[in-house]
Amino acid sequence: MKPAAFEYHAPRTVEEAVAVLAARGDDAKVLAGGQSLVPLMNMRLARPRAIVDLNRVRGLDRLGETRGVLTIGAMVRQRAAERSALIAARCPLLRDALGWVGHPQIRNRGTLGGSIAHADPAAEIPAVLVALGGEVTVRGPKGARTIRAADLFVTYLTTAIDAREVLTEIRIPAMPRGAGWSWMEIARRHGDFALAGVGVTLALRRGAIADARIGLTGVGPAPVRAAAAERLLTGAAPSEDLWQRAADAVRGAIEPDGDLHASADYRRHVAGVLTIRALREALVRAAAPGTAGRRRRTVT
Amino acid sequence: MSTRYLGARIARNEDPRLLTGRGLFVDDVQIHGLAHGAVLRSPHAHARLRRVDVRRARQAPGVLAVYTAADLGALNGPLPKLIPHPALVHHKTQYALAPQVVRHAGEAVAFAVADSRYAAEDALDLIDVEYEPLPAVAALEAAAAPGASRVHEDMPSNVCARYTQRVGDIEAAFARAPHRFAERLVLDRGTASPIETRGVVAAWDARAGRLDIWDSTQAPIPIRNGLARMFGLLQESVRVVAPDVGGGFGPKVMMFYPEEILVPFAAMRLNRPVKWIEDRREHFVATNQEREQIHDAEIAVDADGRILGIRTVFLYDAGAYNPYGLIVPIVASTTLPGPYRLPAYHCEFQAVFTNKTSVSPYRGAGRPHGVFVMERLLDRVARELGIDRAEVRRRNLIPADAFPYDVGLIYQDQAPLRYDSGSYAACLERALEMIDYADWPARQRALRAEGRYAGLGVGCYVEGTGIGPYEGARVTVEPSGRVAVATGVGTQGQGHATSFAQLAADALGVAPQHVIVHTGDTGLFGWGTGTFASRAATVAGNAVALAAKAVREKAQLVAAGILEAPPGEIELANGAAFVRGVPARSIPLGEVALAANPLRFAMPAEWDGPGLEAIRYFAPPQGTFANGVHACIIEVDPETGTLRFHKYVVVHDCGRVINPTVLEGQIHGGVAQGLGGAFWEQLVYDEQAQPLSTTFMDYLLPTAADLPPIEVDHLETPSPLNPLGVKGAGEAGVIPVPAVLAQALDDALAPLGVRITAMPLNPSRLVQVITDARRSS
Amino acid sequence: MKLDGTNALPAPIDAVWKTINDPEALRRCTPGLKELTATGPDRYQATLSVGIAAVKGTYAGTLTISDKQPPKHYKIVLEGSGGAGFMKGEGIVDLEAQGDETLLRWSGDIQIGGLIAGVGQRMLSGVGKMLIGQFFKCLEQQFGAAAAPGGTGERGK
Amino acid sequence: MARRDNGAGAPRDVTVTINGRAYHGRVEPRKTLADFIREDCGLTGTHLGCEHGVCGACTILMDGEAVRSCLMFAVQADRAHLHTVEGLADGDTLHPIQQAFWEHHGLQCGFCTPGFLMTTVALLRDNPHPSEREIREGLSGNLCRCTGYQNIVKAVAAAAEMLTSTAPGTATRRTAVREGARARRRTSERSKRRIPAGPAKAGSRRRRPAR
């Protein structure tokens, strides 16, 4: 199980990376954390003729907040994001979801940009991006462009990013202050790809749901934002009955595949179960405002 | 013999090396000029090879050779048939490289050798094979059906053996029984998957005519003997070393895997050392697997739940070849009776070829199947007759005064199945106590009131261990005072370097860390069979003890001359020989060894040779039978089908315990494999017999986060069949796990009417079972 | 992997029949089909590069059409092998005229073996369905019309 | 394609520091870091169990963080500071984590052990007082087929105890969170550190665990 030969490029700047990609086209593959790509290469399932390694590109590992939007460099390691006080305070849903990405050894190398660009249909980060309506910046031969999460994920392992483009930055709107959140997932073992996973945020105003976001993973070719369920929740008063109806809406919005780990029916069923549980947990957290802020104080 | 170390919790001798990265596993062998091999494997489960063109591959950079079947000359023939059986009408083994037909995905077609493994894999890409696909058969029942496409075209069907054993009058038993219950019980395929895959290194010294092999095998001596025969060398000119072996669990005791011939063949042809290391994907298709059986079983009981008779008719999946004969199904059918009295028993199986990887024993080797059937039937009796499940078992147990107990069957070693000793009732009661069985109904009610689904499972088993034919050991006291022990039985993590050291240490009055044990190196000890069937401690352990005892007697004799006292007055302790009651009259044991090897003058005739050294063999006429009980409490989330373990206990009796720490480790690991095989691990094949789970992403070994802590207690009922009174324990952990987990799930989900009849499960399947049960109730 | 489905194509049955027998249309619409060279009547040599993203298998093989009952029925078989293993797709196609439109019923069986089957099972059935969906979407586009309402939904398994 | 001599596909020089010692090699870009460590540097304590990032046997520390060396190419590690199992003990003195694995029978065949040890070094540095659940989850990226993990978990708990009681200050909890531009600087600082939880001085001289 050894990779086929390839040309190795380790550019220092995004421009250099784009230049190599422009020259090599479909033959080249961008290497970020490598935690998904290298196994595929070791098995010779992927045989790129050229590798463009972003690990020595400067400036892709910045993490900050601009006007209520988290800006995350494509090469920020998942482990760094998981430990980030900023993410814990402003987007605890992302922090919680990151805890489900593989194992610490994987997250030490794996990057947020890599996970998004790889677009595994059962990955956690794309579902969070979709739920929270984030966007990414990509740079290619024609310059930079922005792709909204809703337009980004096309199908299995396929995004709207062109083979000649490099994902450079991820932007995720911070969760509203006081919003509750929950990430719920069923995997065969700790750290495995999700059989189904649900991320929820819930903001309350005067006892009613002011804003609800639901993103799912593992239940189709690409991450799903459960828009119908979100509409049903928005403006309504929280109740078990409402959660049940949201779960039904989620189940109606997905087309899961079956595989040897779980049937399509199971995934659909569990997506609903997890939606209910996530809504319950998010409500508890929303009802106790300042949870995220408190957490931040203890971390920093 | 003053016992000090037998039964002690000695930290292991082998650990400092392994902890500091100084172990020597096969892949760690580095020799100057080492070349690397890679095997081209069939992607088809069944196909005729129309053409294998290796010309392009041979010309690739760094490639030294590419071999096909035609290149193997005299070695192009079926590999040895290991264990014949009169009932086996078709004994089929594969070739080192398939000559014409491949019969499972992963069967070896060509072997490339290059400067690096990378280049060798590049060469595989350049081999052009034209396959003519043939119909493949995957499902066991379909393969057994008349008219099924045949795995071996020279056979009239895929059934390679039918074998029946009977005890008592089964028809009469069923005819007069007031209650009869039938079940169809299924276990699917799994694999041992040690973290170290297989691997072979061969170095040929053409001038000396010497072949050195490092092989991750559980049976280095038979490998050496076979290689010598195949390559026309003296056994003495072939040395096979099983160095540190990174787990075995059964599949590494195959004589031969193709690579065990291909690697030395290439090394001799190229006159260059060659290494082949199986990668994980290869492991999932090229290393033997196990476990698939379908039992149609029926039990007849009286009104009190006492067993009158059991009948099981089952199918056993042999895979594409059956080098190991009928061992697994015979072990399954002879393990089924377990600790219970069966006045009548009928077991009948068909062994069936399928286009899947060959089957040979994997830890348990049929025992989990037998126990699953027996215990599921008893659970059915308990439920139908309204008898407490522990009580049903109690009523049927063989009592403590019934030993030796003849079951009336022939065991895998072709000897009568005769239990030597056991503690069946005591083990059960102790396990019930540890799991708080008496309190369970109340606790379960309380949990149910909270809407929680928790269940308890308990199951009993008897484990056949310690079978012959023989093992041997050489024990030598060196002038340094250290003791060298050599035995043919290799170790794959079982701690032989410590357990055997304890036995020698007790006999010779030295500390166990001064006993250096070498296993699995035919250059150091050349007689033996291998590590399998939970036999090392019993068979090799007794050989070590006997040899050490002989050395002790010799040391007494030699020391007697020096210390001027009768040999009977000489004691050995603390690394010295001394006169009983006069510790001052002593001499270090190393000096006794030195004196036993004189440079000049006459040697006393009664020494019977020089040195403090002896070789002894232990050849038990039959196996010895350990027993135990597992119990667990689990909680099920019926909405998601996920499990949480509250408690897992094992009470185990394998006779005298040599090292409780090592023994507990064996139990822990066995339970983990059992649980893995019950809920996480499954080898899935599609209808065309394509293996779908050939990575660790799809074949799921449980992790630390998935498994519960396991509480272990030991009872010690010595075996009367060997001087140490020991029995084996290697498979104890794994045997009853599917049965116990199934019962616990039934118990937890009783309000939903769930009954588990097939393993392994997973969350999706469990939710399906729950849904089906709800629908039908 | 067994799949079937029904597609309504906005063209008369004879036109559809012609198109599904046209090697150029087949080449254009079969995902990953790079080359198609006739070796006999209804027999072609094919080169395929099938997969998604960086995971692609290259296969050399054949495409054959048999059991022809113009303009209503045929069997199409596409098979190939390569480093990533082998693939074989078999489809039975039935056409039924519905006025100016044609109803295309198909049932197929896809076999995949070797590396991709053993490693890619998690996405295999989904990707298989997706590729077949792409095939029919392309066919519809051959007739220069958008998909008929509900027309392209293929039912899995 | 084993030997290309054109530019980017050609063998490259790689220099790494492993356990404080410099190693140099010339390798094809495709050579994995694990193979480089084992074959070119001769440090065979790091094992390969799956080569697809699941079993964890190849876990090493790179610039202080536990990573899977089978999922990196050697060229990517050029100029990095690596730690492998061979660097844990100080001469004959076992690292407290090794000592704990010995005392608690945390290994059987020993093949997966180096990966567990290196994972544990990072785990206990980041969380010096883990609960049993945290230990189990922290180890869930390493597979063991022999032990059922029970004695490994016990050993890690015991090692945590030994590290925090015998070597105060060596296993400081890293609460600082690296963000933005600071990350790179911190990474390079960390890479200069030796393995944070070094062998305790007194009391843990490689001693045979007595019963």
- pLDDT (tens place) for every residue of chain D, 211 residues total: 344 445 677 999 999 999 999 999 999 999 999 999 999 999 999 999 999 999 999 999 999 999 999 999 999 999 999 999 999 999 999 999 999 999 999 999 999 999 999 999 999 999 999 999 999 999 999 999 999 999 999 999 999 999 998 654 443 333 222 333 333 333 343 444 444 444 444 344 455 554 4
* pLDDT on residue B2: 53
Residue B426, pLDDT > 70, answer yes
Q: Dihedral through CA A148, CA A151, CA A153, CA A155, nearest 10?
A: 180
Residues from chain C that touch B133, judged by Cβ atoms under 8 A, are 86, 88
pLDDT at B161 over 90: yes
Q: What proportion of chain B, given as a percentage, has pLDDT over 70?
A: 100
What tens digit of pLDDT does each residue of D61-102 get? 999 999 999 999 999 999 999 999 999 999 999 999 999 999
Our CA-based measurement puts residue B44 at a distance from the nearest CA of chain C, in whole angstroms, of 6
User: Phi and psi at residue B399, in whole multiples of 5°?
Assistant: -75, 160
- Cα nearest neighbour of A273 on chain B: B639
List all residues of chain D from 79 to 138 with a beta carbon under 8 Å from chain B: 84-86, 88-89, 94, 98, 101-103, 105, 107-114, 117, 135-137
Q: Give the mean pLDDT of B36-63.
A: 97
CB contact under 8 A, C113 and B695: no
D11 touches chain A (CB under 8 A): no
Give the tokens for residue A181. Answer: 């959140």
- Whole-number pLDDT of residue C149: 40
Tokens of B108: 């070896």
Closest residue of A to C117, CA-based? Answer: A45
Crossing angle between the packed helical segments B763-776 and A264-287, to the nearest 10 degrees = 100
Distance between C117 CA and the closest CA of chain B, angstroms: 6
For residue D137, the chain B residues in CB contact (below 8 A) are 704-705
Share of chain A above pLDDT 90, in %: 93
CB burial readout A29-65, b (16+ within 10 A) else e: bbbbbbbbbbbbbbbbbbbbbbbbbbbbbeebbbbeb
Residue C40 reports pLDDT greater than 90: yes
What band does B144 get if pLDDT is binned at 50, 70 and 90?
very high
pTM: 0.94
Interface test with A, best of B115, B127, B640 (most A CBs within 10 A): B640
Which residue in A106, A120, A184, A188 has the most chain B C-beta atoms within 10 A of its own C-beta, making it the best mutation to test that interface? Answer: A188
The minimal CB distance from A188 to the residues B684, B695, B700 is found for B700
Q: What is the pLDDT of residue A294?
A: 39
Q: Do D122 and A104 touch (CB under 8 A)?
A: yes
Q: What is the pLDDT of residue D208?
A: 59
Rounded CA separation B292/B618 (Å): 34
Chain C residues close to A121, C-beta within 8 Å: 123, 126
Q: Which of D28, D94, D150 sits opposite B709 (nearest CB)?
A: D150
Q: What is the DSSP letter of B678?
A: I
B44 interaction partners in chain C (CB closer than 8 Å): 86, 113
For A131-160, b/e burial (b = at least 16 CB within 10 A) is bbebbbbbbbeeeeeebebeebbebbbbbe
User: In this predicted structure, what is the pLDDT of residue D203?
Assistant: 40
Cβ atoms B520, B245 nearer than 8 A: yes
**pLDDT tier at C154 (50, 70, 90 boundaries)?**
very low
**Count of CB atoms within 10 A of residue A107's CB?**
27
Kindly report which listed range (B205-214, B527-536, D189-198) carries the lowest average pLDDT score.
Answer: D189-198
Of D51, D103, D135, the CB nearest to B280: D51
Q: Which chain D residues are Cβ-neighbours of B21 within 8 angstroms?
A: 43-46, 84-86, 114
Flag whether pLDDT at A248 surpasses 50. yes
> According to the model, what pLDDT value does residue C54 have?
82
Per-residue pLDDT tens over the stretch B593-647: 999 999 998 999 999 999 999 999 999 999 999 999 999 999 999 999 999 999 9
Helix H or strand E segment including B118: helix B117-125
- Residue C117 has its nearest CB partner, among B125, B133, B690, at B690
Residue D4's pLDDT is: 42
Strand-pair partners of D83: D61
pLDDT at position D7, please? 66
Contact assignment for D51 to A102 by CB distance below 8 Å: no
Q: How far apart are CA D133 and CA D138, in angstroms?
A: 8
Confidence of residue B3 (pLDDT cuts 50, 70, 90): low
Question: How many cross-chain Cβ pairs, A to B, lie less than 8 Å apart?
Answer: 67
Name chain B contacts of A186, Cβ cutoff 8 Å. Answer: 640, 642, 763
Please tell me the predicted confidence (pLDDT) of residue A2.
Answer: 98
User: Per-residue pLDDT for B740 more than 80?
Assistant: yes
| Interatomic CA distance for residues B711 and B629, integer angstroms | 12
Closest to B208 measured CA to CA, from B229, B233, B188? B233
Residues of chain B with Cβ-Cβ distance to D3 below 8 Å are 61-62
Residue B243 above 90 pLDDT?
Answer: yes
Closest CA to A134 of A113, A149, A147, A123: A149
In this predicted structure, what is the pLDDT of residue D166? Answer: 62
Summarize the confidence of residues B655-675 as an average pLDDT: 97
B762 vs A: CB within 8 A: yes
Inform me whether the C-beta atom of residue A39 falls under 8 Å from chain D C-beta atoms: yes
Distance CA B646, CA B456 (A): 10
CA angle, B353 as apex, B352 and B354 as ends, to 5°? Answer: 120
Strand order in the sheet with B570-573: B570-573, B576-579, B582-588
Separation CA D70–CA B509 (nearest Å): 47
The residue of B694, B699, B700 whose CB has the most chain C CBs within 10 angstroms, and thus the best one to mutate to test that interface, is B694
CA neighbor of D96 nearest in space, from D200, D167, D170: D200
A44 and chain D in contact, CB less than 8 A: no
Mean pLDDT throughout B11-19?
Answer: 97
Q: How many Å apart are CA B181 and CA B763, to the nearest integer? A: 28
More confident residue, C49 or B200: B200
> pLDDT value at position A291?
46
Nearest C-alpha in B relative to D147? B669
Q: What is the pLDDT of residues A197-237, one digit of tens each?
A: 999 999 999 999 999 999 999 999 999 999 999 999 999 99
Chains that touch D (3 or more CB pairs under 8 A): A, B
For residue B485 the two structure tokens come to 């022990």
Chain C residues in contact with A119 (beta carbon < 8 A): 53
Mean pLDDT in residue range C94-120 = 91
How far is the alpha carbon of B695 from chain C, nearest alpha carbon, in Å?
6
Closest CA to B123 of B35, B44, B40, B27: B40
Q: What percentage of residues in chain A have a pLDDT greater than 70?
A: 96
**Residue A34 with chain D: CB contacts under 8 Å:** 71-72, 76
Per-residue model confidence as pLDDT tens digits over B286-301: 999 999 999 999 999 9
Close Cβ partners of B686 (under 8 Å, ≥ 6 residues apart): B138, B692, C1, C117
Query: Which pLDDT score is estimated for D165?
Result: 85
Query: Would the pLDDT of B184 be above 80?
Result: yes
pLDDT for B512 equals 97
Mean pLDDT, rounded, of chain B: 96
| Min Cα separation A35/chain B (Å) | 13
Query: Span A115-128, mean pLDDT?
Result: 97
Residue B717 has pLDDT above 50, yes or no: yes
B693 interfacial to chain A (CB closer than 8 Å): yes
Which of A43, A221, A259 lies at the smallest CB-CB distance from C130? Answer: A221
Cβ contact D45–B709 (<8 Å): no
3-state secondary structure D110-156: CCCHHHHHHHHHHHHHHCCCCCHHHHHHHCCCCCCCCCCCHHHHHHH
What pLDDT score was predicted for residue B701?
Answer: 98
Q: Give pLDDT, residue C135.
A: 87
> In this structure, how many other beta carbons lie within 10 angstroms of the beta carbon of residue B383?
16
With pLDDT > 90 as the criterion, what percentage of chain B qualifies?
96
Question: What are the DSSP calls for C34-58, one per residue?
Answer: EEEEEEETTEEEEEEEEEETTEEEE
pLDDT confidence band for C82 (50 / 70 / 90):
confident
Please check the confidence at residue A242 and state whether its pLDDT lies above 80: yes
Hey, are the CB atoms on B763 and A273 less than 8 Å from each other?
Answer: no
Identify the residue whose tokens are 């379908």: B294
Handedness of CA D45, B212, B41, A51 (dihedral sign): positive
Contact B43 C111 (CB under 8 A): no
Which residues, in sequence order, are CB contacts of B609 under 8 Å at separation 6+? Answer: none
Residue A11 has pLDDT above 60, yes or no: yes
pLDDT mean over C112-141: 87
For B556, the token pair is: 């007494």
Asked if the model's pLDDT at residue B653 lies above 50, the reply is: yes
Nearest to D8 among A50, A76, A189 (CB): A50
The strand pair at A224-225 and B483-487 is best described as unpaired
Chain segment B482-506, per-residue pLDDT in tens: 999 999 998 999 999 999 999 999 9
Looking at the complex, report in whole angstroms how far the Cα of residue C76 sits from the nearest Cα belonging to chain A: 26
Nearest to B493 among D94, D109, D151 (CB): D109
Enclosing H/E stretch for B747: helix B737-748
When pLDDT is averaged across residues B45-60 and rounded to a whole number, the result is 97
In the prediction, which pLDDT does B129 show? 95
Average pLDDT, chain A: 94
ipTM value, please give it: 0.96
Which chain D residues are Cβ-neighbours of B729 within 8 angstroms?
none
| Residue D65 touches chain A, beta carbons under 8 Å | yes
What are the DSSP E strand ranges found in chain C? 2-9, 33-40, 43-52, 55-69, 73-82, 85-98, 101-113, 154-156
